[in-house]
Amino acid sequence: MSTFFLFACRLLSTAKKLHLIAEGYLRDGDEEAAYISYMKYFNMLSFIHKKPDYTQYKVTVQDMLGDNAANRRTMDKLEIITDSLSKRYEKLQPSTAVENSNINSEQISLPVAVNSSLSPSEEYARLGVISCEELYKRMQQQSVLVMDCRSSVDYANSHLSYQWAFNVPEEIITPGMSAGKLQARLSSKDKASWASRSVKESVVLMDWNSANVQSAGTSPIATLLDILKNWDPDVSYRAPIQILDGGYEYFIVLYPSYSTNPCIIKPKINNNDIDTIDDIEYPSIKDITMKEDILNDLDAKENKRPSINRANKPTNFRIQQNQIREQQSAHIKEIIRDQTALLQRAEENDRLLENASKKWRRLHSEGAAQSSEGQESLYNLLQLENESQDNQFENIRIRDMVIKYKDEVAQADDETTRHIESKIAERQMLDERHERDRLERERLLAFAREMKPQYKPPAEPVAPPTITPTEERPPSPIIEIEHTIPDEQTVINTRPVYDRATKPRIESRAAVQTAATRIRDFSPVIGHNVGRGLTGLKNLGNTCYMNSILQCLANTNHLMDFCVSNEYKKYISYQNKTNGQVIEEVAALIKELWNGQYKCVASRDLRYVVGQYQKTFRGVDQQDSHEFLTILMDWLHSDLQTIKVPRRLDNELAWEKAWLQFTKSQESMILHIFYGQIKSTVKCVTCSKESATYECFSNLSMELPQNANLCQLSQCMDMYFSGEKIYGWNCPKCNTKRDAIKKLDISKLPPVLVVHLKRFYADPSNNGAYVKKQNYVQFPLENLDMKPYIARVESRASTPKSYRLYAVSNHYGTMEGGHYTAFCKSTYYDRWFKFDDQVVSPLDSSNVVSSAAYILFYTWLPPLRSLQFN
């Protein structure tokens, strides 16, 4: 019998006792005590149901605690008690505080509505905890005393860089001791900090990851809280003592610069049961959802014309007939409302598309298609065509809603539905015409590309010219802006042939170290009331792919703050391939984007540096923004990889070993923000032997369904993290080749999760030429839940598992000719903006999701509201 099973039996025994105790209190008429015991029982039951092996022991659980019907009856009792207690306390509400003081507030906690007027910090204070963001504010004001309850060894390895934080080692905290005795055990230095607890405005306790008193249990932090609250009679605290929500582990992720070593790994808890569970990710092959099943399900839904039905029929058949009619009426009204909004958008887009198409054809006939005006016209045309395609998807969705409505409603309003269907048909005819126009334009573009003369680019990129201080800032604003600003190489509009194997020339260290002080050529265009973070980037000849990624990174708050505050300078490495040049140029550019003075700037120096180390980015041809992002992340990590992480040779878990091998025990802030880890599990079908490997990532590439025009991001995630059959795997237990199943899970979630939608693929029917998938992928702006895709070891981490979207890199057009933009949510203004090279404009959040989405930037890091600018 496994240790885990014995542990589960103890949980079941405890839950059963709680149920019996609650029943006893209920018979005795003690509703308060019965309520508490029932709540503890259901909390325990919920915990049991969430255990990984619940399905394996489901029968045992039902034998001891009853089936679903029995627990529903218990829940009914709890609801009756709750209602009774609420009514009783409502009657007591008019009474004075004297009467209420007789009720021990800690004896019972009734579910009450949260006062919506409470701020988050006030709500946290009510619960006895403080958020990391609130602690950070108090640290800035020097008004809080922080007691770190971790061990003295952990404190020495990493602690807060804050004057009023000190260590109360867990090894000296003993239950039952007084505050005086605890003070006597502190070091002389810490006794002075301890004495300030009576004069500081607030006191906060912190360990590795406790979230509240309940989660702390009988841990040292809970014991210390008890000592300060009940056994410290000589001190009167100015405010209730609080526990840091998420602990030190969470705080250093949010504010790494306030830690002496932000890359410290939380020490492993010696628990053989947990180690055994981590070794076996999937006890049964039946627990693994197969990729082929997901694909078959998607194909079946596509053939059935899936719809987003917002008015599903209720399952309660006792609803009155008039309520059903009201619901059906609301459904058809919603369809009409959606179609009216679509027609308004589509008609406006048709007008703009027609004008843009005429302009581009005129420029093409005049031989000016490759001019800056021609390129601007083309980019505008590509975006309008993408909007037209999104309208087409919306038209199909409305059509499917009408079909569903007619199927569900036996006596549908024929006149209404006929009118809607006629409008749908009209839109389809217009969409077909737009498609013919697009194909004709593609033909003309392809012909123009074939007529370009071939040339060989220079062996080395041309360095940007030296700008004197008087030339760095133009004396007066420039009103007219050219969409594409050519540099030294943009005069040659031909396709270069690059040798990617050629090693780049490495600058001397002396030259590199002057990068931070030399004058750069940003060619700024001064603007009026531009706003911080709203500066555009000039197109230096098909560099929109670079501009899109740089704007997304500039709106990554913690990276931006790291650069603008010059914190990055403490960690630059000059011993790597790029000699710290990339981070210097990225940081300098981000500072320009956030100084709030310029309408647009040029990234000439950064482009020169990246072209120096990667020939792909030197010329004037369009490149893949995902490739640029991946290489840039690797360079930035290498430029900052100076944070040494001491290895803990004893009891290292497999994922920890793999992580330290990847980092070579030296980490960076880029790794800290963007990098995660994937666990690849291979399980033998014959003997169930598991083998696991680990790989780090800075972004996840999601495959798109082949036959689904409309899909959800969650479906792409399901496909990526589903099981796949592999054949001929060398099973170490069977000692022969076996069939096996391979499954991916996330063993370490990054604070910033970058998701790449794989829109380009080699089409075998077109001689392997790359083709773009135009799937409309619906993705959430808030609450991207990653819990279904994490490994067991990550499920126990205290960091959040839900993400919010803050940036999107978009691609319009085809592989041969296209355009990139970025949609970014500014923390400074708390709204979305569109970054189209040097043009920055407000964006409604309803327009963020589109079929042009290519790379999604999600984060669980809280927004930085108090940004500091030099």
- DSSP string for 360-417: HHHHHHTT-TTSHHHHHHHHHHHHHHHHHHHHHHHHHHHHHHHHHHHHH-TT--HHHH
CA dist 675 and 754 (Å) reads: 9
Q: Catalytic residue, from 19, 159, 626, 819: name it.
A: 819
Structure tokens at 453: 């003369």
State residue 561 phi and psi, 5-degree precision: -65, -35
Helix ranges, 614-667 (H): 625-639, 654-663
734 flagged as catalytic: no
For residue 344, give every residue at least 6 positions away whose Cβ sits within 8 Å of its Cβ, in sequence order, or none: none
User: Taking the C-alpha atoms of 743, 747, 750 and 751 in order, what is their torsion angle to the nearest 10 degrees?
Assistant: 120
> Do 716 and 702 meet the contact criterion of CB atoms below 8 Å apart?
yes
> Which one, of 606, 607, 589, lies nearest residue 598 by Cα?
589
- DSSP string for 448-489: HHHTSPP----SSPPPPPP--HHHHS-SS------SB---TT
> Which one, of 120, 132, 124, lies nearest residue 252 by Cα?
132
> Do 206 and 264 meet the contact criterion of CB atoms below 8 Å apart?
no
- DSSP string for 22-53: HHHHHHHT-HHHHHHHHHHHHHHHHHHHTSTT
Label residues 248-265 b or e (16+ Cβ within 10 Å = b).
bbbbbbbbbebbebbbbb
Structure tokens at 622: 């369009």
For residue 340, give every residue at least 6 positions away whose Cβ sits within 8 Å of its Cβ, in sequence order, or none: none
Edge to edge, the sheet with strand 525-526 lists 525-526, 598-601, 536-537
CA dist 733 and 396 (Å) reads: 53
- What single-letter amino acid sits at 115? N
Please name every residue paired with 684 in a beta bridge, in sequence order, or none if there are none. 740
> Do 638 and 573 meet the contact criterion of CB atoms below 8 Å apart?
yes
> Which one, of 699, 561, 718, lies nearest residue 630 by Cα?
699
> Do 560 and 590 meet the contact criterion of CB atoms below 8 Å apart?
yes
Tell how far CA 183 is from the center of its chain: 43
State residue 529 phi and psi, 5-degree precision: 50, 50
Give the number of residues written for the chain.
870
* Packing angle, helices 132-141 and 247-254, rounded to 10: 70
Q: Catalytic residue, from 132, 149, 263, 544: name it.
A: 544
> Which one, of 417, 392, 418, lies nearest residue 405 by Cα?
417
Instruction: Report the half-sphere exposure of 250 (CA within 13 A, side-chain side).
Output: 25
State residue 122 phi and psi, 5-degree precision: -70, -40
Please identify which residue in the block is written with the tokens 């009331």: 529
544 flagged as catalytic: yes
Instruction: Report the half-sphere exposure of 95 (CA within 13 A, side-chain side).
Output: 13
Sign of CA dihedral 608, 609, 612, 618: negative
Structure tokens at 571: 């960690």
DSSP 683: E
Structure tokens at 823: 């949609």
Structure tokens at 446: 């392809």
Structure tokens at 145: 């005393």
Sign of CA dihedral 248, 254, 258, 259: positive
Instruction: Report the half-sphere exposure of 796 (CA within 13 A, side-chain side).
Output: 13
Q: Which residues are the active-site residues?
A: 544, 819
